Structure 1
Amino acid sequence: MNPSPKSRIRLGITAQIVALASLSVMLGVIMMIAAAVLLFDPPDETESPAYGVARVAEAVHFVRAAKDSAAADSVLASVRSSGIQVELVSLTALAISGNRERNVPWSTQLARRQLGVLRDITLLRGVGYGAAPPTQIIVQVDSERALVFDDVPRLDIWSMVLKPTVVVMFIVLLLALLLSIYTARAIIRPLSEMARAAAAFGRSQDAHEALSGRGPKEIAQVAEALNDMRARIRTLLDDRTRMLAAISHDLRTPLTRLRLRSERIGQGDMRNSMLRDIDQVSRMLDETLDYLRDDTKAEQPARIELSSLLETICCDFADVGHAVTFEGPQRLVCEGRPRALSRAVTNVVENAVKHGSQVVVSLSAVTDGIIAIEVADDGPGIPQALQARALEPFVKLDQARSAGGFGLGLSIAQEIMKKHDGGIALMPNTPRGLRVRLSLPLRATLPAAAAVIPAKVA
């Protein structure tokens, strides 16, 4: 049986990073040892500078100890067989060369320094024999002869310095890459998921899914706390919805009885006044429920033929005697939730017809892929200082546009546009009145299989 997430042993971020760093060091040491065994050949002492210096010193000593020329030739043959080119010449055969010391390789200079510290070795500088290559080393044997070494084993920079450095740097970069991958997967990705979940909470269908809680102990604790907080918020919202449903049910029953009793009143003026009051209370109740309920998430996004949708809304208002007209293209398709958009536009138009005699609904596609729906009326308008407050819920601007209701029409429209990644703005209309702009993204990339919602929305 798999252990539950709460009973699983988790390490903190600090412990995980320390453990990973320790394992990385151990892995690096193992990899370097393996690289040294597999990639590097064992050092050949016959190719080392120390070996060359020792052979030069031995050759000088043996030639000096040779009793005759045959013994000296035998010593020189033995030295040549070891890979060192040497020749016994007379001192008079050497030529003075002052410029040859400038281009001497540093490995040859190192060999000369090592020979110079030996007691019985006398180096001849500033002279050369034959072609006199820069790597030539000349050692005096006696007062008449000298040994000319054309070359001695030199230090190979690539094999001795560069190659190990490249391998070590590669291992260090590999371990840094592993640490970066761990950081991205174990720390950054869970934090990004939490940020996306927090941003999508209340706006997405997947917002109810619990966070996985993967990652170090601290991140798991944050994920668990966020899950608990979201569960508590959702419980509060569900309780609020149930409470509003109960209030709506309990209020609609006496309102219906009041309507039936009012219709039996013989006095026409009193009956009409009571019926208007009952209708106003019903509208206020419906408006409050529309603002507080959260059913827009249950509606799936679809392709909407926005021109037909707005024409239908205008025709509905025109059928009941309001002067509402539509201006815009014959066809404009966007992505959104049709019932929610219809409710937002209807609320704005309803607010406009209450305060103006002429209402114009216009549709246009502005720059940067934004669709603008504007509702303009010729009413008293809203002062610029009060326009921000007009979008707040339960705010009634009596001195500007007084009417019945709780003042939730524009607030509901604002919430709907926010859930479409859009917005709402209030602007003065010319020459008088108010212009309300609803903006939403065009979303040019739409699923080809999605159906286009027709003009009439239930």
Structure 2
Amino acid sequence: MTSGRLLRRLQPGRLAGQITFLILASIVCFQTVVLIAFHVLDVEGRRHIVDQSDFIASIILAVDAAPIEARGALLEEYARAAPFANLHLLNGRPVAVEVDDREFVNEIRMVQSDLWAGADVLAAAPPTDRAPGAMAIGLRKGGYALVSISQHRKPPRSVWRWLWQPEPGTPFLLTPWALSAILFFLSTSVLVLWASNAIVEPLIRLARHAEQFPGDVGDAGDKALPEQGPLEVMELTRAITRMQRRIRSMIAARTHVLAAVSHDLKTIITRLSLRSEFIGDDELRHKMLRDIDLMDAMLHKNLQYLRSESDTSDYSQVDLDSVLQTVVDQFAETGKRVRYRGGGRQMIFGSLTDMQRVFSNLVENGVNHADKVEIIIEETPARQLQIDVADDGPGIPDAQKEAVFEPFVRGEISRTIGNHSGFGLGLSIVRSLVERHGGTVTLLDRAPHGLIVRVMLPRAGDSRD
């Protein structure tokens, strides 16, 4: 999945974007509740946050109050109860050391304020090389207590201090805040990818499958879409698959019926044509033969319209330039004023027969209503082929430009069949075939008068992913 597709899915209007927003909001709310409960409501959780100076002062007061002969046993008890507190007794006053740590100096002052008046508290050398800085406190019964706390140089156990004041020298990516953010985004990314692949992707495939109509490019026939995703999506997939099969069956039945009727009518038209030859009245014979030819042409157009929904088994690389030149030559040989402006190999992926039918219909419509028809082909910046079939006829009013694509709708309602108005199927066939090839058909006005039928088709290799 490309980053562009993922970003499009994360837009607020998309299902994936809404799921992502819900996940992020849920995580933020959860973290907020945890922090509030930890700092405000949870008394048990705050019980361990005891000021270190109070802890040291309590130890010293207990040792100072104990008899001298009981101090050793008391130190052993403290060692078992608080292994992080290192307490040593000295007979004489230790050598004071200079301390640059302002926090440690403040801690010495706080311990001194918690003890008796005039207590002698000073910074001294640690008892061992691995121990942190220590402070020495003079006892009232003699001697000094040397105290060092293994944790006293670390920040207090506050979540905010833990996040914003890491130990000096820690790389940024290893700070608690950075690690928390990385974990947060990794967890969110896993959830977003899961939602996108497990929920959104099946819906996207289902939408594409539902848009495919029997006869469309890429139509898989009776092949059902795999049922994936949540239960609701699977049920919807089954429903759409059943619906498409019913539609396909209805279309097949309709096509078979009309094909059979057309075959029978062909036979009847042939018989009528033969019998008309024996009519003695020349004028009546010509009228009947003209009506028979009109019926045959109408039947041919109907069969063309039915075949526009056929399969795509004959699709291959088609040189559109060659197709257009062939169509123009065919009409030019009959004396029609048709001109083609193009050149070069303009390749599309589709049916050669369908493309010939598309542009033959468009040119036929043009020469029936205009004196001159011109075909122009060019490539757009979006790598699509733009084919304009332009004529100098009366054109089509804007209000009717969409309606003329419907079957059996002609450009001028007042016209009757037989005076070059056609049967109202030409543009319907064109649109159906062009859309099967992944293209579009639009009708535009031509100055000073006339009509431009613009066909947009994807170049070969650009129509399907």
Asked if these proteins are the same fold (TM beyond 0.5), I'd say: yes
User: Could you say which residue in structure 2 is the equivalent of 1:242?
Assistant: 256
Q: Is the 8 A contact 1:357 1:379 kept in 2?
A: yes
Q: Distance in 2 between matches of 1:214 and 1:228?
A: 16
Q: Is the 8 A contact 1:129 1:148 kept in 2?
A: no
1:198 pairs with 2:198: no
Percent identity over paired residues: 29
Deviations 1:274-317 (A, max 9, x none): 22211111111221222233544324432221111111111111
Assess, with a 3 A threshold, how the Cα gap between structure 1 residues 130 and 421 changes in structure 2: closer, same or farther. same
Structure 1 unaligned residues grouped into runs of 5+: 1-48, 448-458
**Aligned counterpart for 2:122 among listed residues 124, 128, 131:** 128
User: Could you say which residue in structure 1 is the equivalent of 2:104?
Assistant: 104
User: Could you say which residue in structure 1 is the equivalent of 2:322?
Assistant: 308
Q: Distance in 1 between matches of 2:120 and 2:212?
A: 83
Assess, with a 3 A threshold, how the Cα gap between structure 1 residues 360 and 53 changes in structure 2: closer, same or farther. same
**Aligned counterpart for 1:391 among listed residues 402, 405, 415:** 405
Q: Distance in 1 between matches of 2:414 and 2:451?
A: 11
Give 1:324 deviation, angstroms: 1.8
1:230 pairs with 2:244: yes
User: Could you say which residue in structure 1 is the equivalent of 2:395?
Assistant: 381
User: Could you say which residue in structure 2 is the equivalent of 1:4?
Assistant: none
**Aligned counterpart for 1:137 among listed residues 128, 135, 138:** 135
Counterpart residue identity of residue 151, structure 1: S
Counterpart residue identity of residue 425, structure 1: T
Listed as ranges, the matches of 1:308-327 within 5 Å are: 308-327=322-341
Give 1:94 deviation, angstroms: 7.6
User: Could you say which residue in structure 2 is the equivalent of 1:65?
Assistant: 68
The TM-score normalised by the length of structure 2 is 0.67
1:187 pairs with 2:187: no
Q: Distance in 1 between matches of 2:153 and 2:282?
A: 115
Q: Is the 8 A contact 1:124 1:138 kept in 2?
A: no
Q: Distance in 1 between matches of 2:310 and 2:319?
A: 19
Q: Secondary structure at the match of 1:398?
A: coil
Assess, with a 3 A threshold, how the Cα gap between structure 1 residues 226 and 110 changes in structure 2: closer, same or farther. farther
Assess, with a 3 A threshold, how the Cα gap between structure 1 residues 146 and 338 changes in structure 2: closer, same or farther. farther
User: Could you say which residue in structure 2 is the equivalent of 1:432?
Assistant: 449
Give 1:267 deviation, angstroms: 3.1
User: Could you say which residue in structure 2 is the equivalent of 1:417?
Assistant: 434
Give 1:103 deviation, angstroms: 2.1
Q: Is the 8 A contact 2:124 2:134 kept in 1?
A: no
Q: Is the 8 A contact 1:329 1:364 kept in 2?
A: no
Give 1:219 deviation, angstroms: 2.3
Give 1:243 deviation, angstroms: 1.2
User: Could you say which residue in structure 1 is the equivalent of 2:425?
Assistant: 408
The TM-score normalised by the length of structure 1 is 0.68
Q: Distance in 1 between matches of 2:209 and 2:109?
A: 67
Deviations 1:244-299 (A, max 9, x none): 11111121111111111122323333222222211111111221222233544324
Which structure's relative contact order is higher, taking Cα pairs within 8 Å and 6+ residues apart?
A: 1
Deviations 1:302-343 (A, max 9, x none): 222111111111111122232222111243223332211111
Q: Is the 8 A contact 2:438 2:458 kept in 1?
A: yes
Assess, with a 3 A threshold, how the Cα gap between structure 1 residues 112 and 211 changes in structure 2: closer, same or farther. farther
Assess, with a 3 A threshold, how the Cα gap between structure 1 residues 420 and 409 changes in structure 2: closer, same or farther. same
Structure 2 unaligned residues grouped into runs of 5+: 1-51, 80-84, 163-173
Q: Is the 8 A contact 2:132 2:149 kept in 1?
A: no
Counterpart residue identity of residue 430, structure 1: A
Q: Secondary structure at the match of 1:353?
A: helix
Assess, with a 3 A threshold, how the Cα gap between structure 1 residues 60 and 420 changes in structure 2: closer, same or farther. same
Q: Is the 8 A contact 2:386 2:456 kept in 1?
A: yes
User: Could you say which residue in structure 2 is the equivalent of 1:291?
Assistant: 305
Does 240-249 or 351-360 show the bigger shift?
A: 351-360
Q: Is the 8 A contact 1:375 1:435 kept in 2?
A: yes
**Aligned counterpart for 1:147 among listed residues 115, 130, 144:** 144
User: Could you say which residue in structure 2 is the equivalent of 1:328?
Assistant: 342
1:353 pairs with 2:367: yes
Counterpart residue identity of residue 103, structure 1: E
Assess, with a 3 A threshold, how the Cα gap between structure 1 residues 175 and 385 changes in structure 2: closer, same or farther. closer
Counterpart residue identity of residue 128, structure 1: L
Q: Is the 8 A contact 1:105 1:134 kept in 2?
A: no
Deviations 1:154-193 (A, max 9, x none): 2685998879x89999888776666555434433332222
Counterpart residue identity of residue 302, structure 2: T
Deviations 1:373-393 (A, max 9, x none): 122222222223322222222
Assess, with a 3 A threshold, how the Cα gap between structure 1 residues 193 and 111 changes in structure 2: closer, same or farther. farther
Size of the alignment, in residue pairs? Answer: 382
Listed as ranges, the matches of 1:150-189 within 5 Å are: 151-154=148-151, 179-180=191-192, 182-189=194-201
User: Could you say which residue in structure 2 is the equivalent of 1:260?
Assistant: 274
Deviations 1:195-232 (A, max 9, x none): 12112333123253112223333222212211211111
Q: Distance in 2 between matches of 1:430 and 1:184?
A: 50
Q: Distance in 2 between matches of 1:419 and 1:105?
A: 83
Assess, with a 3 A threshold, how the Cα gap between structure 1 residues 159 and 343 changes in structure 2: closer, same or farther. farther
